[in-house]
Structure 1
Amino acid sequence: MKATATRPKIMVTGGGRGVVGHAGARLLTDLADATGLTSAFGEALAGLRQRQGGHDPGRIAVDLAVMLAGGGEAIADLAVLRDQPGLFGPVASDPTAWRMLSRLDQPMLAGLQSARARAREVAWAQHAEVNGDLPQPIAAGQQVDGLVLDIDATIVICHSEKEGATRTWKKTFGFHPLLCFLDNTGEALAGLLREGRAGSNTTTDHITVLDQALALVPDVCRHGSPILLRADTAGSSHGFLAHIRGLRQQQHLDIRFSVGAAITEPVREAIRAATGWIPAIDTGGDLREHAEVCEITGLFDATGWPEGTRFLIRRERPHPGAQLSLFDTIEGWRHQIVATDTPPGGGSIQFLEARHRAHARVEDRIRTGKDTGFGRFPSRLFTINQAWLQLALTAIDLLAWTQNLLLNGELATAEPKKLRYRLLHVAARITRTARRTRLAIANGWPWTDALTSAFTTLAALPRPTG
C-alpha cells in the first residue's frame, strides 16, 4: 500500500540541555505570587516550619495547587515541578509534602481559607484596574446583575477503604462533598468534604458552605452587590432558606435565592388549576417550542416557606428516554418547579425560570473540578483529604484568575483540559544570559503569542502593598 504521508525519521537520545516541560505552569506560580496567595499561605502555615532553611509550608501548598491545576492527581506528580528547578525553583519532596498535609488541623485549614479570601480580594482588585468590573453571568440572553453563587453536591468514588468513605445514596462507595462556585468567574468559593452517606438536603451543611463562600467574597463586593444563591431541590430546605433570609435581614446582604422544589400533591393540584401558561425561553432568549411556564404562587398552601417566596412551574413535552413521574406520564408533560424570593419587577417569569436553569453550569464546573484535584483523594486519613480539597479549590481559583486576568478570546473561556494541552504543558528552552533567565517557546507553536502575552500582562499587574 502506497503511503499518502510521511513523517521525518528521528533518532531519540537523552542529554538535551536547557529544555523544560510544563513551561506554561510557571504562569500559575507567578500569579500565586502576584495575588499574594503564596505569602498569605506562608503566614497561615507559619507554625509548621520546623527548621531554618527548610521548605516554606505555604510554598509547598502553592506548589501542590499548581500541580493539581496542571492535571496532577497524586503527590508523586510534584516530580514534574521538582525535577525542573531551573523553572520552578526548589520544590519539596513527596515525604515533606505528606508531612505538611498531615499536620494541618482545623484552625490551619481555616487559615488557608482566609488566605484564599485575601488573594481573591487582590485578584478582583487587579481585574478592576486592568479589565474593569467582574463579568456578569448571562441567562436567556440577559445579564444577571451582581454575584451568582451555585451550590451543588457530587459523589467522588473511592476504590479503597478510606476514613469517611461510605456507601452513597447512589449505591456507590466514596465521599459526598458539597461545593459552591461563583458563576461570574468560575472560581471555587467553598467546599465541604462529607461522608458518602451524607444527605443531599442537609440544612447545616448547606449553611456551612454558604457562610464559607460568603466569607471568601471580598467585603466590598459582598455588601455592595446583589447576590443570587442557586441550588437544586437539595437546597430547598426551609431551614436553609430561612438562613438566607436572616442574612438579608441581620447582616444587610442583598441576597436572594432560586432553588428547585419538590412537586407534592398540593403542587400537582395547583398545576392542574393553573392558567396563563406562556412560552418558555431558551438560553439565547428565544421562545422554546413545546415548553411553557406559569406562576402558581398562591394556588397552594406554602406554609414553612419564607414570606414572599414565589413558585414558577415549567412544563415541556418530554424528550425520548426522559424519566417521568406517574403524574408527568398522565399529564403528558415533564414538570419542574422553581422557588425564588425575587420580587415582582425583578424580571419576567420566563427570565426568572431561565435564570434558574443556568444553575446547570455548576455541573460542568464540578466535572472539570474532578480533573483538577477533588476527583481523587490521596489519603486514608480524612483530615489529609480535607486539606487536599482546599488545595483543589485553590487550583481551580488559579485557573480562573489566569483566564480572567491574563487570557483573551477562546482561551479565556476554555475548559482546563484545553488550557493544559495548549498552554500549561508546552515545552520551552531555558537559557541564562547577562544575569537574566529567558524562557523561549517555539515560534511554530500556535499559542506562543497567547502565552507570551499572558506573561507580559502578568508582569504589569499591580502588586499588593503592605
Structure 2
Amino acid sequence: MQTIASRPKVVVTADGRGVVGHAGTRLLTDLADATGLTGGFGDALAVAGRRAGGHDPGRVALDVAVMIADGGRAIADLGVLRAQPELFGLVASDPTAWRALELIDAAALGRLRAARAAAREIAWAQLCETRGALPASTAAGRDVPGLVLDIDATIVITHSEKEHATPTWKRTFGYHPLACYLDNTREALAAILRPGRAGSNTASDHITVLDLALAQIPDPHRHGTDILVRTDAAGHTTAFLHHVRSLREHGLSTCFSVGVPITAPIRDAIGHATAWIDALDTDGEPRDGAQVVELTHLVAAHVLAGYPAGTRLIARRERPHPGAQLDLFDTIEGWRHQVIATDTPIGGGSIQYLEVRHRGHARVEDRIRCGKNTGFGRFPSRVFAINAAWLELALTGQDLLAWTQHLLLDGELARAEPHRLRYQVLHVAARITHGARRTFLRIHASWPWATELATAFARLAALPRPAT
C-alpha cells in the first residue's frame, strides 16, 4: 500500500506580529503615486468644504480602485487594506468610502477621467523610457502599425433592483455597459454604464465611448499615429463609421474595421465570388479550410452608398466545426461566412492580412472577461451614479494592473491574467521589520516569485518621475 505523506501538524494562534498579506498590492498604490494618479484623483475630488469623514475623497477613490484591482468585489473588501495600516496607511471606513463615491457626480466623473489621462501620459512616457516603446498589436505574425482600439459591449446581470437596471436583449436583467480597450497594452481606456435595454448597435453610444477613449490617449500618440478602431457587427452603423472618418479632419489618422451583417445583397455577392484565396492563421501561416475574397466590386452599388468613401468589404468562409450554429445560407453553401468592412486602402495590406487583423478583435472578449473579474462584473449600489463611479474606478484598477505588468514585470507575469497575477504576486504574505530608520518588507525566500516581486519594487523605485 502506498504511504501518503501527511501534512505537518500546526498549532494556530492569533497573536502574530509584523506579518502582512497582499504585500504585492503595495506595487499598485506606489505606482499610482509614481504616475501622479493619486494626486490627480485628489485634485479631481477636492470639493471645497467636503471631506469624507476626514479623509481626502481622491485618496479614498484611489484606495477603492486598488481594492478592485486586488480582486475586491464590494466596498466591505476595503477591510483587507484597512486592517494593514503599516502597509497601506490609513484607509477609510466603509461608510466613509460610500460617502466619497456619493460625491462623484457627472462633473467629478469628468475630472477623474482627466486625471486618468494625465497619469496615462506619465505611465506611457515611463514605459517608452524604460522599455523603448509601447507594445504593438499583432496580426498574421507581424506588428500592426500604431494603436488598435477595440469596442465591445457586455451584459452584467444584477440580482436586485438597481436604478436603470432593465431587461436585456438576452432575456436577462441588469446593465449593458459599452467599453473600449487598447489592444496594444490591455488598458481599459473608457466605458459607459447603460441600462440593460440599451441597443447593441447604438451609434451615439459607440461615438461617445470612442471619443472618451481617444481623450485618454496622450497627445504625442494620438496625433501622427495610425489608430485602428475595431468593433463587431454592433459597430456597423454608417453614423459611427462616418464619425471615425471625420476624426481625420481633426488631425487623427483613424481607420475602421467592423463586422458586417450578411444581408441578401451580400449573400448574392458571395455566391458570385470566384477569386477565393487561402486565409491566414494568427501566426501568418495559411489556415487549412478557410478562404477570403474581396467583395467590394461584387456588391450592388447601393450597398456601399451610405459608407464613407473607400470602404471595402472582405468575406471569409470556413468549413464549420462540429456544433457550429449556421443560418440557412451557410447550411446550403456548406461554409460558415463572415464579412468585414474596412477603409484601409489598397496597399495597406493584403486582404488576408486585413481579415486576420480584424479577427484580433476577438481578444476584447478576454479583456471584458478579465474586466468583469476586476470590478464591473458586479455593481455595489442601487444608485446609478454610484455604479457609474464604480465603473470608472474599475477601469482605473485595470489600468494599474496593466501598467504594473508593462513597467515592472517580465515574462509570463507580464502577460498573466488578473487572477493569476493576484494569486502569485499581489496576495503574497511578507514580514515587516524596521531598522536603520527604514521599513523593510521581507518576502519569504522560498516563495517561487519572490525574486520577480523584489525586482518589480526595485524597478518601481527607479522609474523616472515627472518634473514638479
Aligned equivalents of 2:373, 2:224: Cα separation in 1 = 34
The answer to whether the 8 Å contact 1:49/1:56 transfers is: no
Separation in structure 1 between the aligned mates of residue 77 and residue 103 of structure 2, nearest angstrom: 20
> CA separation in 2, counterparts of 1:234 and 1:383?
26
Q: Which residue of 1 aligns with 2:19?
A: 19
**Residue 321 of structure 2 aligns to which amino acid in structure 1?**
H
Instruction: For 1:46-445, list aligned pairs within 5 A.
Output: 46-47=46-47, 50=50, 54-248=54-248, 250-300=249-299, 301=301, 302-445=304-447
Deviation at 1:140, TM superposition (A): 1.3
**Corresponding residue of 1:37:** 37
Name which of structure 1's ranges 7-16 and 208-217 shifts more when overlaid on structure 2.
7-16
Q: Which residue identity is paired with 2:438?
A: R
Q: Which secondary structure does the structure 2 equivalent of 1:47 belong to?
A: coil
Maintained 8 Å contact 2:51/2:57: no
Q: Counterpart of 1:456?
A: 458
Letter in 1 for 2:40: A
Distance 2:79 2:53 in 1: 21
SS at match of 1:279: strand
Aligned mates of 2:216, 2:27 — CA distance in 1: 23
Instruction: Map Cα deviations across residues 35-75 of structure 1 (whole Å, 9 max, x no partner).
Output: 00000000000016635992111111111011000100000
Contact (CA 8 Å) 1:297, 1:311: kept in 2 or not?
A: yes
Shift of 1:298: 2.1
The one-letter code of the counterpart of 2:41 is F
Secondary structure class of the residue paired with 1:346? coil
Q: Deviations over 1:392-445 (max 9, x none)?
A: 000000000000000001100000001000000000000111221110000000
Q: Distance in 1 between matches of 2:194 and 2:234?
A: 15
DSSP 3-state at the match of 1:46: coil
What amino acid maps onto 1:458 in structure 2? L
CA contact (8 A) 1:49 1:57 kept: no
Please list every run of at least 4 consecutive aligned residues from structure 1 whose deviation after the TM superposition is greater than 4 angstroms. Answer: none
Distance change (3 Å), C-alpha of 1:158 and 1:53: closer
Given the superposition, is the C-alpha separation of residues 105 and 441 from structure 1 closer, same or farther in structure 2, using an over 3 Å criterion? same
CA distance in 1, matches of 2:46, 2:155: 34
Amino acid at match of 1:406: L
Provide TM-score, normalisation by structure 1.
0.98
Range that drifts further, 40-49 or 160-169: 40-49
Give the length in aligned residue pairs: 465
Secondary structure of the residue that 1:243 maps to in structure 2?
Answer: helix
Q: Is the 8 A contact 2:53 2:96 kept in 1?
A: no
**Which amino acid letter does the alignment assign opposite residue 199 of structure 1?**
G
Q: Deviations over 1:105-127 (max 9, x none)?
A: 10100000000000000000000
**Does the 8 A contact of 1:48 with 1:100 survive in 2?**
no
Gaps of 5+ in 2: none
SS at match of 2:47: helix
Kindly tell me: are residues 400 and 252 of structure 1, through their superposed partners in 2, closer, same or farther at Cα, counting changes over 3 Å? Answer: same
Alpha-carbon distance change, 281 to 51 in structure 1, aligned in 2, over 3 angstroms: closer
Report how far residue 3 of structure 1 moved. 3.2
CA contact (8 A) 1:290 1:317 kept: yes
With over 3 angstroms needed to count, the CA separation of the structure-2 counterparts of 1:254 and 1:10, relative to structure 1, is: same
Partner AA of 2:464 in structure 1: P
Seen in structure 2, the aligned counterparts of structure 1 residues 299 and 442 have a Cα distance that, compared at 3 Å, is same
C-alpha RMSD of the superposition: 1.1
SS at match of 1:450: helix
**CA displacement at 1:8 relative to structure 2:** 1.2
Give, as a single letter, the amino acid of the residue that structure 2 aligns with 1:373.
G
Deviations 1:211-248 (A, max 9, x none): 00000000110002100000000001000000011101
Identify if the C-alpha distance between structure 1 residues 303 and 242 changes in structure 2 by more than 3 Å, giving closer, same or farther: same
- Which amino acid letter does the alignment assign opposite residue 271 of structure 1? I
Cα distance in 2 for residues equivalent to 1:369 and 1:459:
28
Distance 1:145 1:52, change over 3 A: closer
Q: Aligned-pair distance for 1:2?
A: 5.4
